[in-house]
Structures are given as C-alpha cells and as structure tokens.
Chain A
C-alpha cells in the first residue's frame, strides 16, 4: 500500500485517484466505497478486460482489504426503439 493513506476515511478517495490516473486503466467512472475491511467497486466500463483489470489493480493497491468488484460492462445491444422529437 505504498502511498496509500493510513486512515480508512481517505482510502476510497485515494483509490479512486489511482484508478483514474493509472496508465493502464484511466477509469473515472468507477465508484469506490470502503466499508470495514471491504472495498466495493461499482460503475460501468467498456470491456470485460478493463472490469477485471480494475479489480486486480485495486486488490494489489490495498492488500489488507477484500475487494468486491461489482463493476459491469457497457451493453452494446442495438436499440429497439426511436424517440420522435418532432
């Protein structure tokens, strides 16, 4: 946990910054919440690879915590309707 704050109150903010600034990840849409010794990750990313990478990187950054990766992957289904704005 090099550079990680000692206080758990600031851990979520620090981890969010790491995930945004990490050259391999650059995810600003991942929400981090720390509850007890569990770090919850949520949000939507573009690929399965990035979802897994976010979880792995978070676990490596906060080894004393259990990471619960609830991040999902953006749906790329075709739309089924058109909104008329006439």
Chain B
C-alpha cells in the first residue's frame, strides 16, 4: 500500500509566503509521498521556486514534481528545477523515480506534457512550422513519458504530468480550449506502458476524476478543482480497508 498526497497549480508568488507551510503541516501523517503536478510558480522565476521550496521544507515525506506552463513563462525553467532540486525536491521531465515505503515500491514517471486535443478532435503534425512544432512537442514528451514509465519494475506506477491526458477531467472547461489543456497522446503513452494512476493539473475549471481508454485512473489535482490544499489517494489495500473486508467476510461466511 502506498499513500499519495497530490496537488497542482499552486502558482506561488511573493504573496504566497506563509500560506502553504501551514496547509501542508500534516502531510506526513496522511501520506507517504507528496506529488506536485506543475504550475508551482506564478511566472517561472527562481525566486518563486525558492519560496515554494521554503514552504515545503520539513513536510517529512519525499516530494516529487513536474513543471507546468507557468513555470516556463520566464524562460528560466532550468533554474527553477535547480532551485527545487537543491531543496531536495525530485523534479521529473521525461524521467522517473522510485519511492519505497515499508517494502512497497512505487515508480513515478513525469513530464510537463502539452496540448493538442483529444482523439478525433486534435491537431496534426502538418502544415505550418508553428503547428508542427506545437504537435511535435507533445509527441516528443509523450514518447519520453512512455519510455520513462515502461521500464519501472515496481509494485505500482504513477504518471505525473501537468497537462491532461483525457477530456474527462476537463469537464467544466470550455470545449474551445480543450486542445490547449491536454492531449490524448499522453493517455496513449500511459496505456501502452501500463500504469495505476495518472495525476495532472492545469484545468482549473475541470473535474477531479477521469479514466483513460485503457482503464487507468486519472485525477485532476489542480487546487481549484480539489478545493483543498492537496488530495489523498491510496494505491493498494489499506490496513483499515483490509480489516473491514475481513470483518465483512467473516460476518457473511456460512
């Protein structure tokens, strides 16, 4: 069993100082790992990343993150990553990490992801160079996500991204902007590689729960969606659930 706390779209700026430390004070009582689904900063400055690092210092569990579009705005994404990594936060982009808790291993593969739209209503790698670059970026990141996820030999696999892999979790957003919110190529990568849970952010007006065509749970953990500082998920049978099931089984046995 692995307990996961996850959030996205915290958009940390100078005015965020002190807000998160209190909100995340009890994460280690509730979860084994904290995952951050991008848009960690307001406009992608290393100073904003440093504030986030300070706010998350001492959460008491491993923190794994991907960047979002806001974290790229200033053109200083590498510096943002460096600041976070120096604070002990694992930042993924086409890469993976493994967290082990009491003998249970969870592999986490991450990418920012990108847009393009969903099956039957998506952009194509065709036409103007700008369009090719747009779709090509998504294809490249989806391929790297697949290659990071597939080799993970762990009890559970989680894919962490900023953009959405499915339209389900965009419900509530305007249909016209779906191609800017995610791409089915991300879901295809996840389904082909095999995965237990996908976490993403980006769609503030979306919906928390969805599923890929291959049956993988998808959760949109953007803070405006989950309406809490973070959401909690449990992969595997929790001791409490196990005890409850055993009790029910005993009660119903002939």
Residues of A within 8 A of B (CB): 23, 26, 29, 31, 43-47, 49-50, 74-86
How many pairs, one residue from A and one from B, have CB atoms within 8 Å of each other in the complex?
Answer: 91
What residues on A are CB-neighbors of B231 within 8 Å?
79, 83
Selected contact of A85 from candidates B19, B205, B229, B234, CB within 8 Å: B234
User: Is B205 in contact with A76, judged by CB distance below 8 angstroms?
Assistant: no
Q: Does B104 contact A (CB under 8 A)?
A: no
Interface size class of B (residues with CB under 8 A): 35 or more
A49 x B233 contact (CB < 8 A)? no
For the complex formed, measure the closest distance between the CB of A11 and the CB atoms of chain B, giving whole angstroms: 18
Min C-beta distance of A74 to chain B, whole Å: 4
In the complex, 9 of the A-B residue pairs with CB atoms within 8 angstroms, ordered by the A residue number, are A26-B73, A44-B224, A46-B11, A46-B42, A49-B15, A78-B23, A82-B3, A82-B233, A83-B234
Q: Select which of A23, A74, A77 is within 8 A of B224 by beta carbon.
A: A74
Give the interface of B toward A (CB within 8 A).
Answer: 3, 10-13, 15-16, 19-20, 22-23, 26, 30, 42-43, 70, 73, 196-197, 204-205, 217, 219, 223-224, 226-238, 241
Instruction: Return chain A residues, CB-CB under 8 Å to B226.
Output: 79
Contacts of A80 in B (CB 8 A): 228
B229 touches A77 (CB 8 A): yes
